[in-house]
Amino acid sequence: MRRAVLAALCAGLAVAGCGERPAPVEPAPMVSSSLRFDLARFAGDWVVRQATAGAGPVRAISVLPEGPERFAWREGTGAQVVERAGRVTGPGRLALSGPGGERAIWVLWVDEGFRTAALGAPDGSLGLILDRAETGGADRIEAAREMMDFNGFDRSRLRGME
């Protein structure tokens, strides 16, 4: 009796495995923000070293604190500067105001000296690697790329801004 039940179970599993399998679903990024974030240390000028396609042509970002949880976010240089109001919504979690409402950008990683940072939108639509300098720091840039990958971003979508 036991063998008959086992045989029937195996046959049922074999038949079930013959049907069409659903197409794999690509998971959304599993983004987490950095607890190391500190607005005062994050403030200042940044160079966009690498970005995903959704970032546009922005090459420079400045973060100017306006209080403990509020800041101005400036993108661009010279006459091409766009300023957005920003606020800290949680550890490493930023919200930027814009014409279409608020956009969430999370600080995924920042190095110990706040020289290099990896940022991303929680929905995976935007990824940025920022650095205080235009060149150098290859080890930190690679660490930021690894953190982007760890958070579910496709590293192959990151492009240099040179």
Question: CB under 8 Å to 96, separation ≥6 — which residues?
Answer: 73, 84, 85, 86, 102, 103, 105
**pLDDT for residue 1:** 53
For the chain, what is the domain count? 1
- The pLDDT tens digits of the residues spanning 96-139 come to 998 889 999 999 999 999 999 999 999 988 999 999 999 999 99
Q: How many Cβ atoms are within 10 Å of 154's Cβ, its own excluded?
A: 13
**pLDDT for residue 117:** 98
Q: 49: burial class by Cβ within 10 Å (0-12, 13-18, 19+)?
A: buried
Q: How far apart are the first and last CA of the chain?
A: 72
State pTM to two decimals. Answer: 0.78
Range of the domain at 75: 39-160
* Residue numbers in the chain where pLDDT is lower than 70: 1-30, 54-57, 161-162
Q: Where are the alpha helices (H) located in 28-137, listed in sequence order?
A: 39-42
Asked, for residue 123, whether it belongs to a domain, the answer is yes
Asked, for residue 133, whether it belongs to a domain, the answer is yes
Here the CATH number for the domain that contains residue 81 is 2.40.128.20
**pLDDT for residue 3:** 55
Asked, for residue 4, whether it belongs to a domain, the answer is no
**pLDDT for residue 4:** 52
Asked, for residue 12, whether it belongs to a domain, the answer is no
